[in-house]
Amino acid sequence: MQQPRESTNMSSANVSHRPSQPSHGARLVLIGLGVVLVVLGAIGIVKRVHARHELTEDTDRNAVATVATITPNASPKDQGLTLPGTVASWQDAQVYARTTGYVAKWYVDIGANVKKGQRLADLDTPDVDNQLLQGKAQMRTDQANEAFAKVTADRYAKLATQGLIAQQTADQYLAQYKADVATVQADQANVARLQNLEDFKYIDAPYDGIVTQRNLNIGALVDAGSTGSNLFVIADTSKLRVYVDVPETYAASVHVGMPADVSLNTYGAKPITGTVARTADALDPSTRTLRTEIDVDNNELQLVPGVYANVKLQVSTATRNYVVPANVLLFRSEGLRVALIDGQQRVHLQPVTLGRDFGSTVEITEGLTDGDRIVLSPPDSLYEDQQVKVVEPNKAQKQRMP
């Protein structure tokens, strides 16, 4: 009786531990979750593929540099060229002594306006004075001897014609007379020389001008044989010479007679119009410039010699120049370059020659032609034959264009 009860209990235990089957609703929930997970995974995969595709496109776009270009503007054929110049007086005389003596007086100092022949200084020349007196006395003695020799020669000439004396004796006295005449002529030349030295004791102005230097004092010894120190320097400033060095590019357009404006910023004077008087007709081989002289009337004494002047010339160039922004230049080890874009939007690094610098713009004298497309603000990484993408420059860049 006991055994059947145990089997019954075991059967009940087996029934209680059997897993329960999911219901229909639970299966639907599980299926829905699976579908959601699959959809989310698919969306994530699609997004990653799209992001990778966009990254690839961005990388491809960034691999081609984007640049903005401009075309150069031709500079005017005729243009004003301003050059530094040096002002010199029309003529500049250094006055030296021609006789030896001591300074007795001087009458003018620096800055004095003098006229031609005006007395500048007096020298005391006792040695020359005595030599002149001696020379005149010797000349008078020789003149007396000449007169006596003439009388004697005439007397013996008459006797010789009468046959009273030999002709040789008459010729001898005639020769003596001619020798005395030559001696008197030598005395006259010597007296004239001493008289010139005597006259040189008075120092006079050689022409109208301004005394720019005075190098003597009363009592100072002046040696005529020494040229180391001048007594005065006189400058004629009624007209001035202005010297400029014209660069080789503009040398061909400079000709005699063309006008030029000369101004001095330091003195604040208005520009004075002068004319090109002469040129060297040859370039200086060391500077490749043409030495040019401009003559300026200075009746109002607005300019002074020795100062720095600005000279403006209206010149033209034999070549066609262009003006471009300064930010198109590439400074490379092989020289100055600009980046040009050809029809296939490829880069060509063109060598150029720089002209004048205007600050934000520069002048290119060689290397450019009409219609060239120049890269604005080119990156240093640009290289020859590089493929680029060209866009229009923005407004700020356009404002910087010439």
Q: What is the pLDDT along the chain (402 residues), one digit of tens a residue?
A: 444 444 445 444 444 445 555 576 777 777 777 777 777 777 878 777 777 767 665 655 556 788 888 888 887 766 778 899 999 999 988 898 888 889 999 999 998 999 999 999 999 999 889 999 999 999 999 999 999 999 999 998 998 888 888 888 888 989 999 999 999 999 999 999 999 888 889 999 999 999 999 998 999 888 886 666 789 999 998 899 999 999 887 888 888 999 998 887 666 667 888 899 999 999 999 999 999 999 998 877 777 888 888 899 888 766 678 889 988 899 888 889 999 998 888 899 999 988 777 788 888 888 888 888 899 988 888 888 888 888 876 544 454 444
- Using the structure block, give the residue that is written with the tokens 């109208």: 208
Token output for 280: 């060297």
pLDDT at 151: 92
pLDDT at 22: 58
Contact predicate 194/131, CB 8 Å:
yes
Put simply, whether the predicted model's pTM sits higher than 0.75 gets the answer no
pLDDT at 179: 93
pLDDT at 120: 94
pLDDT at 133: 93
pLDDT at 79: 72
pLDDT at 371: 85
Alpha carbon separation from 85 to 281, 291, 294, 312, 331 (Å, rounded): 18, 10, 10, 10, 32
